[in-house]
Each structure stands twice: as structure tokens, then as C-alpha cells.
Structure 1
Amino acid sequence: MNNKQRTATIKEKKYPYFTWVDIQDPSDEEANELVTAKGLSPILVKDSLQAGHLPKLEPIEEGYFMILRACTQEVDKPTSIIDFSNKIAFFVFKDRLITIHRAEYAFLDSAPPHIKHVDALVLHIVDNMVDSFQEPVENLSNKIDDMENHIFTKKGSNLTLEQLYFLKSKARIGKKLIGLIQTVINELAVGKGHKSRLQDIKDSLTAHHLLYDEAVEDTNGLLDSYLSVTAQKSNDVMKVLTIFSAFFLPLTFIAGIYGMNFDVMPELRRQNGYFYTLGVMVLICLIVFLWFKRKRFF
């Protein structure tokens, strides 16, 4: 749909002491109208509509502006935070809250009806955004365990280096994103009665960061294991080829000599020369076999 034809979904909810206006997927024209009607900074409204904007916290007159990202989708081949998450922009004032976002969030419709302070609503939304990272990191850990099992079994031949790379990319992006959110939340100031809820959110972020950090380490180890197993398989193939070469090289040498078309070759005139030559070949193979076994090559 063309940007000019798109119509934003605007929901306004009045609480006893403040008003919440939620705006989903506004067009550029609607964003400009929002700047005029709500008295918002055009630069910050533009930031709130920018798809790849990173989390941040910025003080504004009589409040603050904040951008956070929630994990709303899982793709097989993530290359950036846009593939992994979507954002919500918050304009927070004492008597009103304005949220702007592109994607649809189910938890925005489940806000408790009896909220008395704008900080409580902000923390409710933030808490749900942080929780959105829990299931993806658990799925990531399960995939890592499955791939580790595949690598050390015959099923490992189905894996590719590309799959491991994107698994590592997902862990790396998740860790980076959680770290950025942590920085913003650590700077967030709320009323005295809401500090306990804020601390719970910080604890959840710390737990998620540890899980993603562990996932990054596991994917690095997984990649090293895959390369090691692949190299071992290549070495095994080369070992087999080397053993065959050691057996057939002297035999080929003998066959090459007696395949030359010279008239004066005494062995060619012997009645049992063929059998003598075969016997020498068998003896050579036996000597090579005993030597390999003594050196424990097999």
C-alpha cells in the first residue's frame, strides 16, 4: 500500500490521572499532523518512524522520549536488528503517554484497566517487550543443542556452514540488542512506588543478556566443532587414499617396468616369469601391510 494511502490506527484511552494515545503505522502526512496536534518534536517523531532506529532515551520538555525494541519475529537468516525486532517509541509526560509503532503488539491491548500513574503503564509495556526475547533465546538454545548432536553423529552431513553462520548471527544480534536496551533502562527514572517493578525488568534483562551471551559462546564453539569434524573427515579420506597409494605405487612401478616394449628383457622369456612377478607383488603388499600395522596407521 502506498504511504499516502495508508491510514494509522489510533487508540485513545483515558485513565484517572493521564491519557494514553497509541498510534500504529502512521503515514508521513499523519506524522506531520501529529507533530502539530500534539506539540511533539518533528525530529523525534521522525526517529519514531525510522525502522532501524536503535534503543535510546532522551529528555524532552516536561518528560522524556524513549525508543525500545521488542522481538516480534524470527527469521531463519537474520542480518540486522530489523530482521529480529520492531520498535515502540514513547513520548512520556506527567499527564499523557503517546506510543508510536509500525508493527502490531498484542500486549498493548492487554494493559490493566486500573492504572493510576503513567510510569506504571510505561513499565507494563516495557516488561512485555523484554519478555518477548525469552522464547526466541530458548528456541535458539534448543537449535544449538540439536545442531551439536547432529555434528557428532552421521546426521552432521546435512548441516552447512551457512546454517551455523546465521545461527551465530541470531545470537550476536540478540545479545547486542539486549545490551542496548539495558543501557536505556539503566538510565530510566521512575517514581518511588515503581522502582521495584523497574528493578524486576533490569533483572530480566540481565538474565536474557546472560542467555544470549551463552548462546554466542555456544555458537562459536559449535562452529569450531563443525570445522574440526569436517577437517577430521577430510583427514580420514586422505589417510585412506594414502594407504591405497602406498600399496599400489610399488605395484604400479613393477607393472610399468614390465610393460615397456624392449626386445632384450630376460624376465620376459622365463616360463614362470608371470608368477614370479605376481609373487613379488604379493610380497611387497605384505611388507607394506606389516609396516603400516607396526606404525599403528590402522
Structure 2
Amino acid sequence: MAQFKKDFGKFEWLDIEKPKQTELIDLTHPFLIDVNLLDDALEHGHLPKLEKHGAFTFMIFRAFTVEPHLNHTTVAKLSNKIAFLIKEENLITIHQKPFDFLKKLKDQEFKDPEELMLAIVLEMLLTFEAPVNWLSDKMDDNEKEIFLKKHGKVSMEQLYYQKAKARICRKLLQFSHNVLNQLVVKPENVSNLQDIRESIVNYMLQLDEAIEDAQSILNTHLSLTAQKSNDVMKLLTIFSAFFLPLTFIVGVYGMNFNNIPELHWQWGYYITWAIMITISVVIYLWFKRKKFV
């Protein structure tokens, strides 16, 4: 376990990294914090939430913490959380993984715990910018692959992971937005809170577009695949229509019986060829009229 404590004059910030349950209980004992809140703070995959308990407001937010291209499809693998316990004179942050932006914030000055908390939440929100942009670029690449390349193919596996990642990010941002809508801050911090809300809405809109694009690309891919199958079947049907009557004629006159009258005709061979050519021409003209070819 690692901990950092800083006194800003009007309030104190206690940052706790990777604590065990007993260590966390001992550290927060002077604050009389409900043990259920500490259990939520330690739970690995907990979604964003807000809960008031006595003088403390308890919140959880999650930050995107993996490379955007990695194929993960769960909240716990794509993100990590920070739990906040905030009141007038104290801010306690609890997390299992290190965050680089916390090191930067430790060197800055803040007027009150709300301002510091909002600064941390903003940094957590900005971690979603890279996956949002990556997903947007991937959807563009997929569309170009399908519509601009003659034999464009899209990996259904990668498209699944991209859609799942967009859906999970959208869910996390929606929960975070709900938490921020419940949060009441001092008048001097309202502007910062509103900026964070607007940024979340912007990211959610981009993720909505990515999800819609993924579904559209999937439908288009399936349609093109079905169309290619139909084209193959159409071609096979046309060949069958041409060769079935010709095969019938060849089969009849290929039988080894002496009493087939046409076998003794002087012009029988040429007449048979004429009949087969005529049948082929008639079939072709009929297909042409019906716009099958």
C-alpha cells in the first residue's frame, strides 16, 4: 500500500493506493466511514455511483486505462476506478492502480476539496478521448474497406470487439454523467462541473455514432455477402438452364440402341446441332428479355 497526504490549508487530501481491507479500515477509522463504503471502494469492477453517508459524499468514477487497440470486452479490463470520499475539510481518494495524472495534481494548489475532486474527474474523463478517437478512425477504415475497395473485407471479430468497446465506454460515461447530475457543488465550482458534463455528452455522442456505424457496417457486410452468394447462384442457374436441355438431347442420342431412327439420317448429326443451337439462342433471348443477363 502507498499513501500520500497533503495539507492545502483549508482542507487535507489523503490519497491511498492499493490498500488491503484492514489497512484501509485502520487509515480511515478517525473519519468514522461506513465499512460498506470501504467495501465498494475496494470492489474491482464497481460502476460509477454517488452515495451520501453522514458528512461524507461517496463517489466512484472510472478511467479508461488500456491501449485502445487491445481486445477487451469487460468493464474491469478496460477501466480502473477511483473512489472519492469528500466533505468540507477532507478529500480521500482510494484506488488500486497508479494514475499518472494524480502525480501531476499533487504539485498543484486547490481552494477546496470540490475543486480538486473535479480536477481529478476531468483527468479521468480525458482518458476516454483516445479510445473514442480510435473507434471513430476504425469505423472510417471499415467503411472505406467495404465501399471503396473492390474486394473489401472486414474482420467480423475485430468489428465485434470495436462495437463492444464502444458500448462499454458509452455505458461508463452514462453512469458518470448520472453521478455528476446528482452532484451539488459550491457556486464557484459550478462552471467546472458543467464543463465536465458537456465533455461527457460530447464523448457519448461520438460513441453513439461509432455504435451505429458498427451496426451499419455489419448489416452492409452481411448484405454484400448475401449479394455475392446470390450472384454465384444466379450464374450457376444460368449455366444449368443452358446445359440441361442440351444434356438431355445428348443423353437421348448417346444411348446404344439400333432402333433410334435419327441415327440413320444422313443429316441427323447436323440437325441435332441446329436444334441445340436454337434452344441455346431461345434461352439466351428469353433471359435477355427478363433481364437475367
Tell me whether the two structures share a fold, i.e. TM-score over 0.5. Answer: yes
What residue number does 2:251 align with? 256
User: Would the alpha carbon gap of residues 293 and 155 (structure 1) be closer, same or farther in structure 2, given more than 3 Å must change?
Assistant: closer
Which amino acid in structure 2 is aligned with residue 238 of structure 1? M
Counterpart pick for 2:101 among 107, 110, 126: 107
Counterpart pick for 1:133 among 118, 123, 128: 128
What residue number does 1:5 align with? none
Q: Distance in 2 between matches of 1:250 and 1:170?
A: 56
Matched-pair contact (CA < 8 Å) for 1:75–1:83: no
Q: What is the TM-score normalised by the length of structure 1? A: 0.90
Pairwise CA distance, 1:272: 4.3
Q: Distance in 1 between matches of 2:20 and 2:173?
A: 29
Residue 55 in structure 1 maps to residue 51 in structure 2 = no
Matched-pair contact (CA < 8 Å) for 1:35–1:42: no
What residue number does 2:11 align with? 18
What residue number does 1:145 align with? 140
Matched-pair contact (CA < 8 Å) for 1:11–1:23: yes
Name the SS of the counterpart of 2:123 in structure 1: helix
Matched-pair contact (CA < 8 Å) for 1:75–1:84: no
C-alpha root-mean-square deviation of aligned residues, in Å? 1.9
Pairwise CA distance, 1:175: 1.6
Q: Distance in 2 between matches of 1:282 and 1:217?
A: 53
Q: Distance in 2 between matches of 1:236 and 1:143?
A: 29
Name the SS of the counterpart of 1:203 in structure 2: helix
Matched-pair contact (CA < 8 Å) for 1:32–1:42: yes
Which amino acid in structure 2 is aligned with residue 98 of structure 1? I
1:96-126: per-residue Cα shift (whole Å, max 9, x none)? 2111112221111111522121111001001
Q: Distance in 1 between matches of 2:83 and 2:278?
A: 83
Matched-pair contact (CA < 8 Å) for 1:168–1:216: yes
Moved more, 279-288 or 32-41: 32-41
Name the SS of the counterpart of 1:113 in structure 2: coil
Pairwise CA distance, 1:184: 0.1
User: Would the alpha carbon gap of residues 37 and 75 (structure 1) be closer, same or farther in structure 2, given more than 3 Å must change?
Assistant: farther
Q: Distance in 2 between matches of 1:241 and 1:25?
A: 66
User: Would the alpha carbon gap of residues 28 and 274 (structure 1) be closer, same or farther in structure 2, given more than 3 Å must change?
Assistant: farther
Name the SS of the counterpart of 2:60 in structure 1: strand
Residue 124 in structure 1 maps to residue 129 in structure 2 = no
Q: Structure 1: which 5+ runs fail to align?
A: 1-7
Counterpart pick for 1:168 among 160, 163, 166: 163
What residue number does 1:156 align with? 152
Q: Distance in 2 between matches of 1:176 and 1:114?
A: 33
Residue 96 in structure 1 maps to residue 90 in structure 2 = yes
Moved over 4 A (4+): none
Counterpart pick for 2:178 among 178, 183, 191: 183
Counterparts of 1:164-243 in structure 2 under 5 Å? 164-243=159-238
User: Would the alpha carbon gap of residues 285 and 42 (structure 1) be closer, same or farther in structure 2, given more than 3 Å must change?
Assistant: same
Pairwise CA distance, 1:37: 5.6
Moved more, 80-89 or 257-266: 257-266
Moved more, 193-202 or 130-139: 130-139
Q: Distance in 2 between matches of 1:268 and 1:190?
A: 103
Pairwise CA distance, 1:138: 1.3
Count of residue pairs brought into register by the alignment: 290
Name the SS of the counterpart of 2:9 in structure 1: coil
Q: Structure 2: which 5+ runs fail to align?
A: none
Moved more, 75-84 or 216-225: 75-84
